[in-house]
Amino acid sequence: MHKNHRFSTLAKSWHLFTLFSLTLTFAGDVTAHGNTPPSLKGVALPITPGLLDGDAPIVIDKIAAIQLGKAFFWDSAVGSDGMACGSCHFHAGADGRFQNQLSTGISHKKPTGATFQKTASGENGGVNYTLQTSDFPFFQLVDPTDKDSSVLFNTDDVVSSAGVFLRRFNSATQTGSSTDNCTSVKDKIFHAGTFNTRQVQNRQAPSVINAGFNFRNFWDGRANNIFNGVSAFGVRDTKAKIWVAKEDGTVVSEILRLENAALASQAVAPALNDAEMSCTQRTFPELGRKLLARQPLTTQEVNADDSVLATLRNTSGKGLNVSYDDLIKKAFAPRYWDGKGNFGKPKNVKALPYNLTEANFSLFFGLALQLYQQTLVSDESPFDTPRIPDTYPRIPEGLDEHQQKGLTVFLEAHCAICHRGATLSAAAHPDLFIAKGARTSLSLVNRKTLNGSFNGKGVAQAIMDEGYFNTSVTPEENDLGVGGEDPFGNPLSFSEQYLQQLLTGKPMIDRIAVNTCDMDNPFLVDYKYNELIDDPYITGDCGDTAIYSKIPKVSVLKAELNTINGGRALAAVKGAFKVPSLRNVELTAPYMHNGSLLTLEQVVDFYFRGGNFNNNAHFATVVFEQPITPEQKADLVAFLKSLTDERVRWERAPFDHPQLLIPNGHGTNASVKNPKQAEDLFLNVPAIGKNGRDAKLGAIKAFETYLEP
């Protein structure tokens, strides 16, 4: 949501007026509120150079790589104790579980951060709690439409996804077993009496559907656009290298830098995360040793009509008739697996050294999962139907009367400022936003109006990571989001890196292009001309906007940073999170990074009242108080439901999948396998073929329909 005050107090500035005019030109055919975002149908995924093309592609059989990736995604043996990637992404690409899904506010340092709180329904909540509708929203006001009304309830707990038990890795499992050899570690938070329970993550699991269009992944953007073959952090991880066999028989370690591979960067993180899928201290070579000789999906049913795996289905109906090693050798160039030598030694002194395939297992895992997840594109919703001729804004012909009215509300309330483009997210790859005839795409680092004079704080310009905004769902100190750091002490945000570049002259860690001439509000807007110098970091040609290619002098910038909140050098990144796609949003509750909202109606109330809190980095020109009638709210919700692809609802290809037993809460007894752990209860997700769920099974439903009052 956005208020049209961006230039109100600066209208007398001729250069700003010119910039505004150019911005409209770049945006294409728009109204004061913007035009209807385009359909996703036919929009190309960002290309990863060198992955499938060039003289020496990494993947030599794309179909085999997709088969490998789908097997990896749904195989419960990938986790140390039964967790698959799909265990948290089985319901419209998100998590549909509602038992043992609460986590403490562990991301912040307040006294309540490591303890569970009571729920809004008056229950104790905590470990193994079953969510109910009356627990939502997690921040409640006397008047849900009035941000200034009295607070009835607030909690820093989070709804997320149950993962693994807290255990320390010892060695790879023996062939045939899907559970790693690990030692239980007493869990101070996730336990029931003397039994450890499964840990729950600190953020809600977003949908993986359409994630292939994102420039970065995870709520905080830490899954880098550059895949280094080993970890999530791209060029930041300077020790990350892969092994490559040469023609002369030698095998050497090399640096890998694959662009537009944020899905691969994301894929390698959960597999070793000691709360999501892995015992602590497990490595990818150990995971490779466990899986390579295995029959994929050994104990899991594969539908005879699986859109990807049917031709590999074992005659028993369970698993595949090939090994993971077979699929890797078919999918990937031999130089990554066909080499002799010792490539590291396990902790177990009696174990053999790793072979080349085991040593490079993170490479195979990440890229196969990327190629599979890139097939999960939902572009057949009513919103993706052709636009009715001569309508303005452009109306998709698949929308009914209420949805059309809701589209108007969506545009007039400026929801499309953040939920923009074909994916309905400003966090998508910048190239998706290149307008017809435009010179430039969306900036990854932008400078926008953070506040307007209407909110009492005065006009403030702020540098932001495009697509990562602070909407004040929680106090920003609860979770810094993209304002946090990577494990190497570097800012996650591009904006803070850019400020460091302006201060020191040293290149940004993430070598992205940041052109001041492309920013919504360049420094020339609010700095005096004699405070600025020519921008030496411009990439390419600014063309008609070259006049705005100015940056503050170092002395001026330092003075600003010493003022309250950074003054004119403010970077609004603390507590900012990725703008999620709205596609299939009907099916992906609970909403927000902390899972605090249950229904789309609650989401609308949140935005139209201006959020929950008044954080310093609150994006007040987007999330601000504005009126909405009950009829408009119903129409807006109806429009949001028009973004559901029926193939997702019915799990038709490419959204079909093998069977998966997902840990879903705990019983009262000890686990048969481990007396220090509570027994698991399981949710059986059946194998679905390319034609989707049958009428007896029914479609998947909105999350709230599964909850008791």
Q: Which amino acid is at 449?
A: T
pLDDT band at 543 (very low <50, low <70, confident <90, very high): confident
What does the block give as tokens for 281?
Answer: 């201290």
Closest CA to 588 of 309, 304, 204: 204
The one-character DSSP state at 305 is T
Give the three-class secondary structure for 182. strand
Give the three-class secondary structure for 252. strand
Q: Could you give the percent of the chain with pLDDT greater than 70?
A: 92
The one-character DSSP state at 87 is G
pLDDT (0 to 100) of residue 174: 61
For 262-274, the pLDDT digits (tens) are: 999 999 999 999 9
pLDDT (0 to 100) of residue 392: 86
**673, 694 Cβ separation under 8 angstroms:** no
For 166-191, the pLDDT digits (tens) are: 999 998 876 667 899 999 999 999 99
The Cα 110–Cα 105 span in angstroms is 9
User: In this model, does residue 30 exceed pLDDT 80?
Assistant: no
pLDDT averaged over the chain?
A: 91
Give the three-class secondary structure for 387. strand
For 626-638, the pLDDT digits (tens) are: 999 999 999 999 9
**125, 235 Cβ separation under 8 angstroms:** no
Bridge partners of residue 167, in order along the sequence? 184
231 phi, psi to nearest 5 deg = -135, 180
Q: Which amino acid is at 539?
A: T
Give the three-class secondary structure for 258. strand
Q: Are strands 577-578 and 468-469 parallel, antiparallel or unpaired?
A: antiparallel
**681, 192 Cβ separation under 8 angstroms:** no
What does the block give as tokens for 593?
Answer: 């990074």
Tell me the whole-structure pTM to 2 decimals: 0.93
User: In this model, does residue 648 exceed pLDDT 80?
Assistant: yes
Bridge partners of residue 485, in order along the sequence? 491
363 phi, psi to nearest 5 deg = -65, -50
What does the block give as tokens for 653?
Answer: 């290809």
pLDDT band at 574 (very low <50, low <70, confident <90, very high): very high
For 127-146, the pLDDT digits (tens) are: 999 999 999 999 999 999 99
The least confident of 24-33, 41-50, 348-357, 359-368 is: 24-33
**Angle at the Cα of 625 from the Cα atoms of 621 and 628, rounded to 5 degrees:** 120
Give the three-class secondary structure for 589. coil
- Which segments of 292-400 does DSSP mark as H helices, in order? 324-331, 356-359, 361-373
Strands (E), 249-359: 251-254
Closest CA to 546 of 445, 439, 435, 468: 439
The Cα 527–Cα 152 span in angstroms is 44
Region for residue 122 given its phi and psi (left: phi exceeds 0; alpha: psi -120 to 50; beta: otherwise): left
CA distances from 466 to 184, 293, 538 (A): 42, 44, 18
The Cα 83–Cα 103 span in angstroms is 18
The least confident of 337-351, 418-432, 569-583, 692-706 is: 337-351
CA distances from 129 to 64, 121, 124 (A): 41, 12, 8
